[in-house]
């Protein structure tokens, strides 16, 4: 079961597509976070979602929000994916221990070995304020994230 609205977001430390450590708690007190889990780099729906976010990045930065996208791909895969698609926000690797952070948020599909499409809007205090979890084939609506951020 996915983390629910009102719960404290589980802290994590993951490597980004450049090998830098990123901790959720580093944003506490400074920025809201949109934490987006997606199944795999280089797949159709994921690429479409992440490119839509790329094209609308001011929707987040203008709302004092850091976008963090997490998959179970390796950092090497994520580096190439980010370069190919021009993604300038952090792509975090939940590769090893495989799916540990995805599991902590309740969005890891054990049968498929990857995260499902879960999104968590986390306020500056580290509390989940909005969430949506979609199945693997179902893209999320970026406008819903923006509406949720506007309520913070």
Active-site residue set: 46
Tokens of 111: 């049968």
Instruction: Report yes or no: 107 and 118 within 8 Å, Cβ to Cβ.
Output: yes
Q: Within 13 A of 9's CA, how many CA atoms are on the CB side?
A: 29
| C-beta of residue 107 within 8 angstroms of C-beta of residue 116 | yes
In sequence order, the β-bridge partners of residue 67 are 34
Long-range residue pairs from 98-102, CB within 8 A, at least 24 positions apart, any chain: 98/72, 99/72, 100/12, 101/10, 101/12, 101/14, 101/70, 102/37, 102/70, 102/72
User: What is the C-alpha separation between 56 and 53, in angstroms, rounded?
Assistant: 5
């Amino acid at each position: 079961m996915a983390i629910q609205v009102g719960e404290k977001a589980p802290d994590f430390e993951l490597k980004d597509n450049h090998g830098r450590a990123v901790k959720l708690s580093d944003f506490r007190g400074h920025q809201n976070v949109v934490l987006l889990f997606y199944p795999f780099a280089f797949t159709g729906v994921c690429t479409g979602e992440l490119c839509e976010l790329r094209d609308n990045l001011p929707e987040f930065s203008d709302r004092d929000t850091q976008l963090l996208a997490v998959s179970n791909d390796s950092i090497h895969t994520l580096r190439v994916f980010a370069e190919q698609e021009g993604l300038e926000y952090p792509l975090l690797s939940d590769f090893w221990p495989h799916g540990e952070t995805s599991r902590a948020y309740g969005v890891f599909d054990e049968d498929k070995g990857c995260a499902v499409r879960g999104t968590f809007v986390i306020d500056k205090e580290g509390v989940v304020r909005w969430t949506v979890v979609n199945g693997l084939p179902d893209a999320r609506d970026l406008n819903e994230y923006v509406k949720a951020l506007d309520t913070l």
